[in-house]
């Protein structure tokens, strides 16, 4: 009992200090430790905090995964040009990129031609409706990584949500986007960011709390052929 009282706290303290010193001596070890800690960040869509936006952008640059709000439902995303991060999301969501179209979020239409092929008529249609709750399916451009080219088309989104658009703007790359669905038989999408954080705490690096999400997905418009047509009616009402 005397040994436990006098010496055991000393040994515990020395072991603790040893681990702390070891972490600070090796930056890679420190980064690996922190990579397992999922963080919830509150960002207000009316006035996104630049400091918080920058924190999210840094995680994306390092290949991290984030959960974020859009103008429709909450989604999981990563740097769309980081192939390893894209593959990580595909595994997480059980997506086969050879069978399912992948979609990306762009800040606006100014650099859309870097990622997709679009003719004048389809560009005018997109310009009328974006930013907004639409996904436009377009032929894939050669600039996109090979993982997008298996389906030869890619979904383009420019959501009317200042949080994710500012993240994309600062990242200077598009963000891969895939909706978060609910396992409930009635409620198709999870709207509460706190519940989303609980579900994905071991799978993503950051969950952005931007308020409650919607329950209706985007309207999908296929522009991969000469004539555009609606594949799925969603929240957006297309202006032709």
Cα angle value 49/79/233 (rounded, 5°) = 90
Q: What is the pLDDT of residues 109-163, one digit of tens each?
A: 999 999 999 999 999 999 999 999 999 999 999 888 989 877 899 999 999 999 9
**What CA–CA distances, in Å, run from 42 to 51, 88, 190, 225?**
11, 24, 17, 41
In the numeric block, the tokens 């009316």 are attached to 46
Token digits for 142?
A: 């050669």
pLDDT of residue 188: 65
Of the pLDDT bands very low, low, confident and very high (cuts 50, 70, 90), residue 220 is: very high
Beta bridge mates, 40:
207
Q: What is the pLDDT of residues 42-86, one digit of tens each?
A: 999 999 999 999 999 999 999 999 999 999 999 999 999 999 999
Burial of 126 (0-12, 13-18, 19+ CB in 10 A): buried
What is the separation, in whole angstroms, between the first and last Cα of the chain? 82
In the numeric block, the tokens 């630049």 are attached to 50
> Of 147, 199, 177, which Cα lies nearest the Cα of 38?
199
CB atoms within 10 A of CB 232: 11
> Of 133, 143, 151, which Cα lies nearest the Cα of 113?
143
């Amino acid at each position: 009992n005397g040994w436990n009282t006098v010496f055991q706290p000393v040994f515990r303290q020395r072991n603790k200090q040893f681990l702390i010193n070891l972490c600070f001596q090796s930056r890679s070890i420190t980064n690996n430790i922190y990579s397992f800690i999922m963080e919830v960040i509150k960002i207000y869509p009316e006035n996104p905090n630049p400091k918080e936006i920058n924190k999210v952008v840094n995680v994306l640059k390092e290949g991290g995964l984030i959960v974020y709000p859009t103008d429709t439902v909450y989604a999981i995303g990563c740097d769309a040009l980081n192939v390893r991060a894209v593959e990580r999301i595909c595994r997480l969501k059980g997506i086969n990129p050879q069978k399912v179209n992948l979609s990306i979020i762009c800040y606006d239409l100014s650099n859309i031609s870097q990622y997709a092929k679009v003719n004048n008529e389809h560009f005018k249609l997109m310009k009328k409706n974006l930013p907004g709750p639409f996904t436009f399916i377009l032929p894939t451009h050669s600039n996109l990584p090979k993982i997008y080219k298996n389906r030869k088309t890619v979904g383009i989104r420019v959501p009317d949500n200042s949080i994710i658009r500012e993240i994309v703007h600062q990242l200077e790359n598009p963000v891969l986007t895939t909706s978060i669905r609910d396992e409930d038989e009635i409620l198709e999408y999870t709207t509460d960011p706190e519940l989303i954080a609980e579900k994905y705490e071991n799978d993503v690096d950051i969950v952005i709390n931007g308020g409650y999400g919607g329950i209706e997905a985007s309207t999908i418009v296929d522009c991969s052929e000469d004539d555009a047509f609606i594949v799925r009616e969603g929240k957006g009402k297309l202006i032709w």
